[in-house]
Structure 1
């Protein structure tokens, strides 16, 4: 039996029969498993998430994206081999998920993937996000990054609140940590409150504390995150998602600089750093965000540049991630082909640095040769851009080869299973391998 300390929490969203059949084995391996619907998942914390992707999720992916962006963990997709043939499914899964499995499950591989996802989630929880493995440095030599680093050296020593604005995946959390690390409070706590992922009914207690019963049944007060940050930095991640009632209480604290404990005022000294991807001015006009709180938070402002405006940093960042994840996965480090670098330069990067990180991690797994190619990253190479349209046979051939590479990465030790995943016979599978000169 596993003790409580070793229990890992898995949330299975929209569970299918195959998902439910995994649960007994997962319990034996030390996983505590819960199941729920997509709508319920936002308020259900977990160490790792597994979601059975349904047809409506591909047609309307925003609900899945919202769930993943609000959580601070890693997600694994479960889907059928037919789902993989849908248009743009590869991009969707690559950008938003740690890994994916096709049904029926390879149980042994599921166990391995869950373990790796758990390890990555623990690193994420400790703050090891992009760039932090390199000493919490903001990587890049583009003009926006040089100007950002210069600005942070000016803002960090001050005591004023800072509002960090920018698209998702642009490194807002890393900027907040950099401000703390370069401040006079660097030796004091850096306490994070995720306003987007913490359930609304728990936010008040999360920030300000609550009264409960101790182990002896006596009344006991549990301090909130504001008190835990005393002397240091209080980081409010995605502050635009705070409910109005909590906004009012936060404003009161920022004005009075104390919290109420058993009827007494307890002074708390914190510097507040907040992030938002929400247009707060628009939220104020729509009565969803308090204008007076906005002015309290927006004393100093930092903007993050999207990756599409930092193309000069692409190669540096991509190589950084390739080195980092080669150590994590145990695969040898690979560099990028010229075709891959060109393809990265032509991509718009809607998911910003987080998308680049995920594509590079995927490319390391899929790469067969000495270099990571454009199609390993799920991007179109120079050949695909050289003409406005390719023939239908060329499109089919590219998709065929990509499917073979994908399935071999996951089932190279069992070609019968690989063929079954693709829905073809073993002789046909061998014929296609020969046709595409694979293996």
Structure 2
């Protein structure tokens, strides 16, 4: 999105056509997903509508299936094809920008595919919020001690930014929500964070990592370092340290991998499946193929011998250099190399809590939390989006959190289908709790 945005600003009218192929008609600002999950921000304010910001670009809602760099053709499956049975279409291009990003990196853990919950999209964030509140409702309405304990045990696997921030924000939300339940206390809930390495937040300073562990444990979070998930069958989370936890919630945030579409491009990939890019962001061995972001292995000129870290800080800046180089090539000018020294890292640990390492200085607590919000607000595209987020933060500081669960949003036709008699009486799941697979419900889903 940032590449296309800069191209439409830099290119003269009629100089070139910019076509963007994307499965969703919006860009998700992922650093704000934890706050959306906790109800601090509205879901519509953490996404940016592409048709609004890319007004001079052509947007095609679809997925690239394969690329032929020799013929300069991209095969795309569109929404029209999915709905009407029309086959994929071929798009010819003069210059190609590959920035598909990453997908969740899963492992062959028994039960993970059936029961795990991801945390990379706004849909997953809102679904997880609904799920956590639903588990509190289940615990409040049962006298079965085992069901209650499983409903109030929340397990997060992965101690990077996504896992730590998601757990911290949701724990804050659930602790606030518990005051409205007559028989669910904050001490009844068990939050578990499982990390395979010996530290949390490997991207930040080691001292800040240790602070994050202390802060979470002070809040009652069970942080297990050097521990791996063995299985999650039958609503039981098994860890390699011998622990067996009855739980209806398993959130998987243990890393990402490059988008699998790259394997069908025939372009050079490194050992991690990323495109081998030059410092000018052109894919090695090609003429007019460019790459940036998580999908590209770009040499870090500030740290010889290493690649740029796959984070938003580099991706956004790479996008601007990439767009400038495309324009330079069109106009016969030499390209520039991407060079950016890492500024630092920030992470939220819930309301008014966080860690930050910026320009060699470290912060914790409220100053770090404020730095986290200020930095990400400055990076959200468009003034309109910034103003809406500021307004929501202001209102959140003046009024109490909303704790309503809208699980029916995930299956909006369930109630109508029940009324219309589409499914036999007694077998229709209530709205919001239908199993997406039709066999065994995922952890936390209420069985029909």
Question: TM-score normalised by the shorter chain: which range applies?
Answer: under 0.3
Relative to the length of structure 1, the TM-score reads 0.27
Relative to the length of structure 2, the TM-score reads 0.26
Greater helix percent: which structure? 1
